[in-house]
Amino acid sequence: GQNIDQPTEMTATEGAIVQINCTYQTSGFNGLFWYQQHAGEAPTFLSYNVLDGLEEKGRFSSFLSRSKGYSYLLLKELQMKDSASYLCAAMDSNYQLIWGAGTKLIIKP
Amino acid sequence: GAVVSQHPSRVICKSGTSVKIECRSLDFQATTMFWYRQFPKKSLMLMATSNEGSKATYEQGVEKDKFLINHASLTLSTLTVTSAHPEDSSFYICSARVGGEDHNEQFFGPGTRLTVL
């Protein structure tokens, strides 16, 4: 079956770095997405990886290893506004997104 | 970037009534739109895939007669929740895919919060 695993909740300190891991199993693979979702709002796109390696975009970076079925989202210089849920989603061979349950990130001052 | 709008953003209705939610791609043409439902503290659940000019493809367990989807144009898809009940209360989100199947990015609407009394 298809499955996405990511931690339910993480806590980090303002100004620090946090890494949110995601493992996936899908029927075929057409890329791995990370979305940020603030409470009560729709998800917003953060990153897309389809090749192995690290993609850096400002304070956020995303890494993919296709052979391991593994990705992580790295957030640097954490700010209070980064408190949100972070959703990992893998696109399968039918170009549909398989969603993880999300990781709630709590930032403490 | 591509913008997707949803209307209304919030709706409260009485049990037994029908509610229509619109999803529009504002600056691009979307051949495929997706309708999701999100339960509190849960991930998004894909309800159906809507292709312009053809019938929607519903996910297993989603009642097609209850959740009517119409994708009449390349910029508009509608979801009608018929004979709504309190258990239908949820956050409904649409997304639109730019281009064909080989185009991977989806753009999400802001969501519609439905409360059925």
The residue length of chain B stands at: 117
Residue B101 has a pLDDT of 56
The pLDDT of B63-84, averaged and rounded, is 93
Instruction: Judge residue B74's burial from the number of C-beta atoms within 10 Å of its C-beta, 0-12 exposed, 13-18 middle, 19 or more buried.
Output: middle
The residue length of chain A stands at: 109
pLDDT score of A100 more than 90: no
Q: Which residues in chain B have Cβ-Cβ distances shorter than 8 Å to A43? A: 44, 93, 108
Residue B1 has a pLDDT of 58
Tokens of A88: 């990992």
- Cβ-defined contact of A41 to B111 (cutoff 8 Å): yes
**A40-79: pLDDT as tens digits:** 677 888 888 999 999 998 999 999 999 999 999 999 999 9
Rounded (to 5) percent helix, strand, coil in chain A: 5, 55, 40
pLDDT score of B53 more than 60: yes
The residue type found at A2 is Q
- Cβ-defined contact of A40 to B91 (cutoff 8 Å): yes
Output B103 or B82, whichever has higher pLDDT: B82
Residue B27 has a pLDDT of 84
Q: Which residues in chain B have Cβ-Cβ distances shorter than 8 Å to A95? A: 97, 101-102, 104
- Nearest-neighbour CA in chain A from B18: distance (Å): 23
Q: Kindly state whether B105 is in contact with chain A, defined as any CB-CB distance less than 8 angstroms.
A: yes
Round to whole Å and give the CA distance between B87 and B24.
26
Residue A63 has a pLDDT of 98
Q: Kindly state whether B98 is in contact with chain A, defined as any CB-CB distance less than 8 angstroms.
A: no
Q: If you search the block for the tokens 């998004």, which residue do you land on? A: B44
Residue B42 has a pLDDT of 66
Residue A95 has a pLDDT of 66
Short-list B16, B32, B38, B6, CA closest to B99: B32
Round to whole Å and give the CA distance between B59 and B40.
20
- Cβ-defined contact of B49 to A100 (cutoff 8 Å): no
Strands ordered across the beta sheet of B19-25: B4-7, B19-25, B76-81, B67-73
